[in-house]
Structure 1
Amino acid sequence: MIGMQTKIIKSTNPQFNNIKGRIIDETKSTFTLSTTNGLKKFPKQQNQWEFQLNGAKISLNGRMISKKPEDRIGMKK
C-alpha cells in the first residue's frame, strides 16, 4: 500500500476525519502519511480508509488491514 493516496473518511477521533495523503510507511497497526502538514502517523484500526485504485474508490475498515504487509499477501477477499 506504500505509495497509494488515501483518505480517512471516518474515525473514532473526529480530528482525523478527511485527512488525506500518500502512504510513505506502514506497520501492522499504522500508516505514515505525507500530508500537506508534513508526515503524520495514524492508527489503522480506528479509521475507515478510502483508496483510489484504477479510478475506483475503495473503502476499507482499518480492522481489515491491520496486519503486517507481508501477512496480507494471499488474504481472501
Structure 2
Amino acid sequence: MRSEFIGMNVEIQSSGCGHFCGKIVDESKNTFTIHKGDREVIVPKAHSEFLFTYQGESVLIHGSEIQYRPEDRIKKIR
C-alpha cells in the first residue's frame, strides 16, 4: 500500500462502476482515474475493492484503506 499506484494495472472487484480491468493513470485522495480501452473512468476509492498484482502476488485492497492523498499515504500507513 506504500507503493506508487499510477502506472499499475488494476482489476476493480466491486464498485458502482462495475467489474473491469485497466491501468491507473491518475490518483487523488478519493479517486483513481483508470484507462479502460479507449476511455478513462474515475472510480471512487470508498466502497470499492481493487486487485493489484505486485511483485508476482495478487493483493486485494479496500479503497477505504488507501483513502489518502498519494503523497501522504507513505506517512500514514506504517
TM range (shorter): 0.7 to 0.9
Structure 2 distance, partners of 1:63, 1:37, is 28
TM-score (norm 1): 0.87
**For residues 1-77 of structure 1, what are the structure 2 equivalents within 5 Å?**
1-11=5-15, 13=16, 16-74=17-75, 75-76=77-78
Give the distance between the partners of 2:57 and 2:7, measured in 1 at CA.
Answer: 16
Note the alpha carbon deviations across 1:44-72, whole angstroms, 9 max, x for none: 11201100001110000000011000111
Identity among equivalent positions (%) equals: 33
Distance in 1 separating the partners of 2:25 and 2:34: 6
SS in 1 for 2:71: helix
Superposition deviation, residue 10 in structure 1: 1.8
Structure 1 residues 6-51: Cα deviation after superposition (integer angstroms, max 9, x where no partner): 011122x2xx332110000000000000001411111011201100
- How much is the aligned-residue C-alpha RMSD, in angstroms? 1.1
